[in-house]
Amino acid sequence: MSTENALLTILAEKIKNDSLVLPTLPEIAVRVREAADDPDVNLAKMADVIAQDPALSARMLKIANSAYIGRSIKVETLNQAVTRIGLRQIKNIATALAMEQLFVSKNDLVKAMLDKVWKLSIEVAAVAMATMSNYLKTNKHTSLNIDTITLATLVHNIGVLPILTEAERHEEVFAKPDFLEGAIARLAGRIGGNIMRAWEFSDDFVMIAERWNDFRVDPENVAYLDFVRVAAVYCDVLPIDEDKEDFYDKYIEKGVLPDEDYLESEEFLEAYNQAKSVFM
């Protein structure tokens, strides 16, 4: 049996037996999410939790003062930052910022691929955030929100992590990137769904991680999945059998995009750059 087929067989068997080692949510993200779900939590308590991680604290301050939040008065303390961002948004935004901790490896080949996956995830996130920001301007009563799409886009391809971890034991497969990309395309969705369930994320996150590249699943109403797909196509990480313009037309008709020129407009580019700056 070839190395490639052996790896696929190992992965498929471990998925079937529920024995594939899944990544664990970063500890600080677990603490923040538990605190956010506590009905007695307040802004001061949440700031205390975030303060346990200096890197996350610094990034929360940066976000609170960014153009993404859209406030002109600078905040200087973590309490002020948490107050500005808000308890509802903190849960997903803090988790999103902690995600980068998972995309690391001591193996140079794996690290290079993880860096690529993370950078592409940021690109997809920035496009989806910019697109949703525009959508929210005219759909103020929707249940969709920016902090959820931010985290959803960063975990949409989370199923890649266990595949690369398993492949690390067979370094020769990294000389064949087409094979690895094929394995990821075939298995990452199912694995990603398993990870979201293991982390006890909501059905929205499970759906995105599991089905973002499966066009057989097409929500009737505007959903987070729509924004992920538009962004993934824009960033050339989701192959389609049609011109991008034709693909976008369906989302203009659905109301996800305002018009055919939006993704080339200065308004979009400004919103995209503001969103991307959150992760840089």
50 in a domain, yes or no? no
Is 34 within a domain?
A: no
Give domain status of residue 93, yes or no: no
Cα separation, 136 vs 144, in Å, equals 8
Whole-number pLDDT of residue 143: 93
Lowest average pLDDT, out of 3-7, 47-51, 127-131, goes to 3-7
Residue 105 pLDDT grade (very low, low, confident, very high; cuts 50, 70, 90): confident
pLDDT category, 4, cuts 50, 70, 90? low
pLDDT tens, position by position, 188-220:
898 999 999 999 999 999 999 999 999 999 999
Per-residue pLDDT tens digits for 52-82: 999 999 988 988 888 777 666 788 899 999 9
CA-to-CA distance for 226 and 100, rounded, in angstroms?
24
Establish if 191 belongs to a structural domain: yes
Residue 19 lies in a domain: no
The whole-number pLDDT of residue 2 equals: 62
- CATH code at 202? 1.10.3210.10
Reply yes or no on whether the pLDDT at 1 is more than 60.
no
Domain span including residue 149? 3-13+103-277
Number of domains within the chain: 1
In a domain, residue 98? The reply is no
| pLDDT (tens digit per residue) in 145-196 | 999 999 999 999 999 998 888 877 777 777 677 777 777 888 889 899 999 9
Residue 33 lies in a domain: no
Residues 16-58 pLDDT 10s: 788 888 899 999 999 999 999 999 999 999 999 999 999 999 9
Ramachandran area for residue 240 (φ above 0: left; ψ -120 to 50: alpha; else beta): beta
Query: Does residue 154 sit within a domain?
Result: yes
Residue 46 CA to its chain's centroid (Å) = 23
7 pLDDT tier (thresholds 50, 70, 90): confident
Q: Tell me the torsion sign for CA atoms 265, 268, 261, 213.
A: positive
Q: How far apart are CA 85 and CA 68, in angstroms?
A: 11
Query: Would you put residue 113 in left (φ > 0), alpha (ψ -120 to 50) or beta?
Result: alpha
Say how far apart CA 280 and CA 72 lie, in whole Å.
20
> For position 175, what pLDDT does the model report?
66
CB 92 within 8 A of CB 150: yes
Dihedral sign for Cα atoms in the order 260, 261, 262, 268: positive
Instruction: List, for residues 80-103, the tens digit of each pLDDT value.
Output: 999 888 888 899 999 998 999 999
